[in-house]
Amino acid sequence: MFWRKQKAAIERFHPLHKALTLERAFSVSLRRDDWEPVIQSLARHGEQVRRRKWLLHQRVPGVLVPMLRVLTADMAPGGVLSVAADMRGPAVPEKNGPKQELPSRPPVSGLKQWFAFDPWLRVRAELRDGSVVELVVTDRVRNRSYRKRNPRGKIKLKSKSKTVQLVRVTRRLPKDAAVQRPPSPPPGWVRVRVKPGRRTVVRASGKFPGPRENQALVDLILQVSTEPFRWTPPGTAARRTR
């Protein structure tokens, strides 16, 4: 039986690891310490599975696992971390909008455009300071297809795409937590909104060309994530939850 050793290895993986391998997606809520077996299982993937169709998407070890480690390090043992990871890519039909006809001129004809929205990572974490953080990473892909006649009169079908990556981070503070405007403004590419109230909500969002290398993307996600935490004095929220 072909690939039986690798199939047997997949069966021994953590169920969430197995879902990422075979279905390319999962959505689950677990307490902080229950994520460590998932991370450890993912770390063994490359040693036991080599068949191309069963390889993990590069964003799993490159982005998902580092973000799991960062978030769990800021959580209390009883805190819940909810993750929806979708590594199927933007070509999935339900992620694509309707096609639009665009004006064109020779030698181009039949120009069509459509957008794909791929929210491939969504996270909600209950932090030890009493605040709740939500993170969404989305690829917005503009697709175009058209026919083009070359100088010899032959018509060829062509397509191209352009990706923009969107990062949105929301932090809901504990009740009556102190709020303090940061001494310096955020980077020009980061937009911050503050909704005051009994539980103040700070939202930060960033948009940049993609796709990026995994480490560069992690750095940008962390940079956007920093902004909501600049609106509270250090340790203030944590003291209110004791």
Q: Is residue 10 part of a domain?
A: no
Residue 224 has pLDDT above 50, yes or no: yes
Scored b (16 or more CB within 10 A) or e, 103-114 reads: eeeeeeeebeee
* Stated pTM of the model: 0.91
Q: Is residue 26 part of a domain?
A: no
Residue 151 has pLDDT above 90, yes or no: no
pLDDT score for 235: 61
d(CA 65, CA 140): 22
Q: 131-142 pLDDT, tens per residue? A: 999 999 999 999
Under a CB-based contact definition with an 8 Å cutoff, are residues 112 and 146 in contact?
yes
How confident is residue 37, by pLDDT bands cut at 50, 70 and 90? very high
How confident is residue 112, by pLDDT bands cut at 50, 70 and 90? very high
Supply the mean pLDDT for the chain: 93
How confident is residue 242, by pLDDT bands cut at 50, 70 and 90? very low
Beta bridge partners of 83: 28, 123
d(CA 89, CA 102): 25
Q: Is residue 41 part of a domain?
A: no
pLDDT score for 233: 86
- DSSP letters, 83-122, are EEEE-S-TTSGGGB---EE----TTEEEEEEEEEEEEEEE
Q: Is residue 16 part of a domain?
A: no
pLDDT score for 234: 75
Q: Is residue 39 part of a domain?
A: no
pLDDT score for 27: 98
Q: 193-223 pLDDT, tens per residue? A: 999 988 999 999 999 998 899 999 999 999 9
Under a CB-based contact definition with an 8 Å cutoff, are residues 177 and 130 in contact?
yes
pLDDT score for 187: 92
Q: Is residue 14 part of a domain?
A: no
pLDDT score for 182: 94
For a pLDDT cut of 90, what percent of the chain falls above it? 90
pLDDT score for 240: 43
Sign of CA dihedral 6, 9, 11, 17: negative
pLDDT score for 241: 39
Range of the domain at 139: 60-240
Residue 7 has pLDDT above 50, yes or no: yes
- Please count the structural domains in the chain: 1
What totals of helices (H) and strands (E) does the chain contain, helices first? 8, 8
Q: How many Cβ atoms are within 10 Å of 139's Cβ, its own excluded?
A: 19
